[in-house]
């Protein structure tokens, strides 16, 4: 089984990896800008988008899926850019297969085990929608808004709602697999040091990268740099797409900026 993906642009290969509950279009704005300089590949991770579903949600399995997909595309190596859970997948690929990763960009996530459950209300809302037949997007949105305070989160999730051949609506991501694998997703296994050039991009108002994580970052990614994007949270690439794209381009192409 191969991951679903698409590409645009020409040049050195660059792979974009989305986060939890997302799909390959989540980083579409970034893909459009970066494709002016690179051949940009966007992929759906397992249990997301149009990729296959599996109960294996740990980062060994997810990084294996990315490398298997790279093999099928005949990509010996690539620049890997990942956001949130996708950033952890990117880090796992870099640590386990360093020869396959030219440069690494990690957006708003650290190589640590997060002990806090950050998505309880999201799963409660999604499970609630599973108990009924969804006849419209509005019905799903109303149910989501009852459980989720941030309307932006509901809107993000609704991007993965689609109309089935039977006329009702369903989620593209596999709720049950992600729920049962959530501990793996929030956790982390240190697969070894990645000595290649690495950039961590943090949203200023986000709590996913904290000063307490500095030691783990330096130990696992000794040649890493960090950049904080002012006035952004965890969804920095959506809040300030041009700024984030510029930060990444300056890191990847320092001689041209």
pLDDT at res. 255: 77
What's this model's pTM, rounded to 2 decimal places? 0.97
| CA count, 13 A, side-chain hemisphere, 202 | 17
The answer, yes or no, to whether residue 257 has pLDDT greater than 60, is: no
The answer, yes or no, to whether residue 238 has pLDDT greater than 60, is: yes
Sheet containing strand 39-43, edge to edge, reads: 5-8, 39-43, 13-17, 78-83, 101-107, 198-203, 224-229
pLDDT at res. 256: 66
pLDDT in tens, 196-217: 999 999 999 999 999 999 999 9
Let me know how many helices (H) and strands (E) the chain has, helices first.
Answer: 11, 9
User: Domain 5-113+187-256, what architecture?
Assistant: 3-Layer(aba) Sandwich (3.40)
Angle in degrees, 0-180, between the axes of helices 120-130 and 137-147, rounded to the nearest 10: 140
pLDDT at res. 143: 96
Task: Give, for 112, the enclosing helix (H) or strand (E).
Answer: none
Catalytic residues: 84, 234
**Residue extents of the structural domains in the chain:** 5-113+187-256, 120-180
pLDDT in tens, 115-162: 889 999 999 999 999 999 999 999 999 999 999 999 999 999 999 999
What percent of the chain shows pLDDT beyond 90?
96
pLDDT in tens, 155-199: 999 999 999 999 999 999 999 999 999 999 999 999 999 999 999
Angle in degrees, 0-180, between the axes of helices 137-147 and 151-158, rounded to the nearest 10: 140
pLDDT at res. 185: 98
């Amino acid at each position: 089984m191969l991951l679903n993906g698409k590409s645009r642009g020409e040049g050195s290969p660059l792979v974009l990896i989305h986060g939890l509950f997302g799909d390959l279009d989540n980083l579409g704005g970034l893909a459009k800008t970066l494709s002016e300089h690179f051949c940009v590949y966007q992929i759906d991770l397992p249990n997301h988008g149009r990729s296959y579903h599996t109960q294996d949600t740990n980062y060994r399995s997810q990084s294996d899926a990315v490398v298997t997909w790279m093999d099928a595309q005949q990509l010996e190596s690539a620049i890997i850019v990942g956001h949130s859970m996708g950033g952890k997948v990117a880090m796992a690929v870099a640590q386990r297969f360093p020869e396959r990763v030219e440069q690494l960009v990690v957006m708003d996530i650290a190589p640590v085990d997060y002990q806090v459950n950050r998505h309880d209300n999201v799963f409660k809302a999604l499970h609630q929608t599973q108990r009924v037949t969804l006849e419209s997007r509005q019905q799903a949105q109303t149910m989501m808004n009852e459980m989720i305070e941030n309307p932006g989160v509901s809107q993000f999730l609704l991007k993965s709602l689609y109309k089935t051949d039977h006329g009702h609506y369903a989620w593209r991501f596999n709720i049950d697999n992600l729920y049962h694998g959530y501990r793996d997703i929030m956790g982390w296994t240190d697969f070894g040091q990645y000595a290649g050039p690495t950039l961590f991009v943090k949203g200023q108002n986000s709590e996913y990268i904290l000063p307490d994580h500095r030691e783990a970052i330096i130990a696992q990614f000794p040649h890493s740099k960090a950049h904080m994007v002012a006035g952004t949270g965890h969804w920095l690439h959506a809040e300030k797409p041009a700024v984030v794209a510029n930060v990444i381009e300056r890191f990847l192409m320092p001689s041209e900026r």
